[in-house]
Amino acid sequence: MKYFFYSFTAILISIGCITTKNPPLIEIEYRFITAAKGLNLRSEPNVQSEAIILIPAGKIVAVKEKSKQPSELINGISGNWLKVKYTWHEGWIFDGYLSQINSLSKNANELQDFSGIWYGDWVCNGKRSYIQIIASGSYHGLLFDGGDDGGCTTSKINGKVTFVDGMICLSDSTVCFYRWENKIVVATPNTPLVENFGNEIVSGFSKR
């Protein structure tokens, strides 16, 4: 079964041998795949290593650490290697084709720029998840609670939206979206929308 839920993602740290009752929280950093044909997740921080999986354009990865190697030039683009997690896969990815979510172009000037029907990646029994933004300031849609070979369940969603600093935010959640090319992209990575038992971060919805 697949389940959609909102989660706060943070990790606890300790420094040396010092421990405290309430160790500080560290926000996990997320990056957005901008390579048009996707980007290979590799077993080691170099292009000669095994490709574990091709991550499609528009997906979001969680950064775990940065390689200590100096920056390098690949296909004319300078960058570093990052160790990341994507679904249940972990590996290395070249950050020359990544963008920080909060640095994506906010190419929307008003709520009207978000209006229309935006579709998700999930299909079950011929139905695709979607969210429809109404220019008057409301939304409705369909999300999948979960599904397997025996069937699936869905939830209808609806509510108000607000336009803030180039984003729209759903009034009944902590999720906001940017416009990016033909997509609306989740702009609140510290409270990501996830599916598949929390293993996959929902990056957004697109026009089809």
pLDDT, tens digit, 9 for 90 and up, residues 165-206: 778 888 766 788 888 778 888 776 555 666 655 556 667 788
- Mean pLDDT, residues 145-159: 75
Q: Coil, helix or strand for 106?
A: coil
pLDDT, tens digit, 9 for 90 and up, residues 109-137: 688 889 999 998 778 778 888 999 998 89
At residue 22, the pLDDT reads: 35
182 exposed, middle or buried (CB, 10 Å; 0-12, 13-18, 19+)?
Answer: exposed
Q: Please provide the distance, in angstroms rounded to a whole number, between the alpha carbons at the two ends of the chain.
A: 26
Q: Coil, helix or strand for 114?
A: helix
Given a cut of 60, whether residue 23 has pLDDT beyond it is no
Give the chain's length. 208
User: DSSP secondary-structure letter at 172?
Assistant: T
Q: What is the pTM of this model?
A: 0.56
> Largest alpha-carbon pair distance within the chain?
56
* Tokens of residue 134, six digits: 């109404």
CA atoms within a 13 Å half-sphere pointing along the CA-CB vector of 190: 6
- Measured CA to CA, the distance from residue 85 to residue 92 in angstroms comes to 9
- Mean pLDDT, residues 4-28: 34
- Measured CA to CA, the distance from residue 43 to residue 83 in angstroms comes to 9
What domains can be seen in the chain, in order of their start residue?
27-103 (2.30.30.40), 111-206 (2.40.128.640)
